Chains A and B, each alone.
Chain A
Amino acid sequence: MATQTIEFKDPAARASAAVAAASDDDIQDLKGDKLVLNMGPSHPSTHGVLRILVEMDGETITKAIPDVGYLHRGDEKIAENMTYNQFVPYTDRLDYLAPLANNVAYVLAVEKLMGIDGAIPPRGQYLRVICCELARISAHLLGLGAFAMDVGALTVFLHTFTEREKIYNLCESLTGARFTTSYTRVGGLTRDCPPGWIQAVRKFLDEVVLNIAESETLLTRNRIFVDRTRDVGVISRQLAIDYGLTGPNLRGSGVDYDVRKANPYLVYKDLEFDVPVGSVGDCYDRYLVRMEEMRQSVRILRQCLDRIPGGADNASREPVSIQDGKVTLPPKTKVLTGMEELIHQFMIVTQGVNAPPGEVYFGAENPKGELGFYIHSRGGGTPYRLKIRAPSFVNLGILPEVLPGHMMSDIVSILGSFDFVMGECDR
């Protein structure tokens, strides 16, 4: 953007000079002049650093140009220099509202490349599904809280944050960190869940349904909320598919595509759940889809907690990771006493897990959409090229199409209903 110099002349003199200088045609143009507004990278809407240049005719938007890249950190180039396990913390910070889901998606892609995705022990798979669904609830809670806060309902934000604190406590006892968990490794998980964790999740589920119901009474039939979101940001079915939208944004427009049902991974084919699909494709539909998805996640979680092999305390000592020295780290007691384990430990830590040459694409159903990893490997422990297919990046591509025609205050509703995360968009 070019900088302009501002001359502080007396306003009255300036106005009269302008009128004197303008001819009749110019005055017509001045009346019809469009205002270019910069919704800058730092704005109160808590969606991160997105900049939108909006050209407006009065209050109505005529053109919108989003400018992304303010959080571009170079993840893909960093991935070429890291081993597969070393990159797991970077995946946390992609969609930083649901880090567990990103971790799982990434290691599933690497395991697909290595061909071991069928060999993950069932307890590990169930724990991964539990992590994904907890992350989904957490991300949707924050997305809804931020959306409601932007639209004006501040109470919902505080309520959802309190629920998220409970999820943070669960994550902390499971992984050691509130979020940015880095919990998964290629071939399994870092560790099993601690004793009492399953019961704690059950207790949390009982509480979160009450909280979701409370947020719903505050928002769903709220006249102001409905007026601000109904028939705003309508995306037709065909447009949504053409623009590559995925996740609740796509389902809000009526397309029944959920990776968990279409190309199931982990144990999703054994679990019963419904996928909510909207009809109109406006902001209100996307909001309803997210609300219902949270309830379906609770349903999935209850099934997982009931069926997890080994049960709550894992009395039968089920493993959570593959017990193959070439893939996962051997137990520390053996490392310091056994030759083979020492060599495996050394190779995995210094050179990384050895992946065969080839390329795979794996997409998982993340809360924001389909998070895909395209890994092109030429052998060895580091990828030759890792491309992260970020749902938020693709979802934002539709903004220049959706925003024109709406009023300025609808921008906030539309952005909130898209529920994007800039960490993922810019990588």
Chain B
Amino acid sequence: MATPIEFANQLREKFGELLSAPVEFRGEATLTVSDPGRIVEVCQFAKGTLGFDMLLDLSSIDNYGEDPRWTVVYELYGTGHHAHLRLKTSVGEESSEVPTVCGVWRTADWHEREVYDMMGIRFSGHPDLRRILMWDGYPYFPLRKDFPLAGKPTELPEVAFTRSAPLEGGPFVTVAGGKDAIAREPRVRNPEE
């Protein structure tokens, strides 16, 4: 039963400079793939030769203010050898496109749809890339750092509407002596109130 760092080194031997040096943190190994276009090759090697037959998780990070803006994170696991491995790849905002790994692990289908829905990263070659948690036609990508937690008002007749939750920016404050509980509720208030 090899440790994650050993698997990471085996991957690095095969792919050389495409992968960064493995970062070891809390017993886990993370490799960064410098070219997102070749992520499928790396995944296929990891699944076929190294035995990482399960893709546990596929997530995305918004590096707001940095370039490349998006990082896609793949969490791999092997049911035979019980080792985890993490692969990361970054892609810039102009292209926002990463090849899909649906051909390697079928579970990536729904994970990639969720990443598209929440972050807006497209996956080329995906069989059915449409929104999964929000509805088709929702104009924003909620998990981006520039999208507020409160949301923005939208309207799609017969399907769904949204409004801003009473939260826009800033801390919650209450008013001493408001006329009823609704007026006193701690919420964001404009300075003139």
Contact = CB atoms under 8 A, between A and B. Distances in A.
Contact of B82 (A68, A262, A376, A393): A262
B56 A243 contact: no
B25 to A, nearest CB: 5
B57 A361 contact: yes
Contacts, number: 91
B26 A115 contact: yes
B84 interface: yes
B52 to A, nearest CB: 11
A77 B131 CA distance: 17
B158 A69 contact: no
Contact of B75 (A80, A241, A257, A361): A361
B174 to A, nearest CB: 18
Contact of B133 (A72, A241, A361): A72
A394 B26 contact: no
B59 to A, nearest CB: 4
B107 A242 contact: yes
Contact of A397 (B61, B110, B142): B110
A372 B30 CA distance: 17
Contact of B107 (A3, A81, A397): A397
Contact of A372 (B57, B82, B135): B57
Chain B contact patch, size range: 35 or more
A119 to B, nearest CB: 14
B143 A76 contact: yes
A262 B84 CA distance: 11
A358 B54 contact: no
Query: For chain A, what secondary structure do more than half of its interface residues adopt (helix, strand, loop), or is it mixed?
Result: mixed
A74 B105 CA distance: 26
A88 to B, nearest CB: 18
Interface string A321-336: 0000000000000000
Contacts of A219: none
Interface in B18-71: 25-26, 28, 30, 53-57, 59, 61-62
B61 A394 contact: no
A387 B82 contact: no
Interface string A383-417: 01101010001101100010000000000000000
Point out which of B54, B79, B111, B143 has the most chain A C-beta atoms below 10 A from its C-beta: B54
Interface of B: 25-26, 28, 30, 53-57, 59, 61-62, 73, 75, 79, 82, 84, 86, 105-107, 109-111, 114, 118, 131-135, 142-143, 149, 158
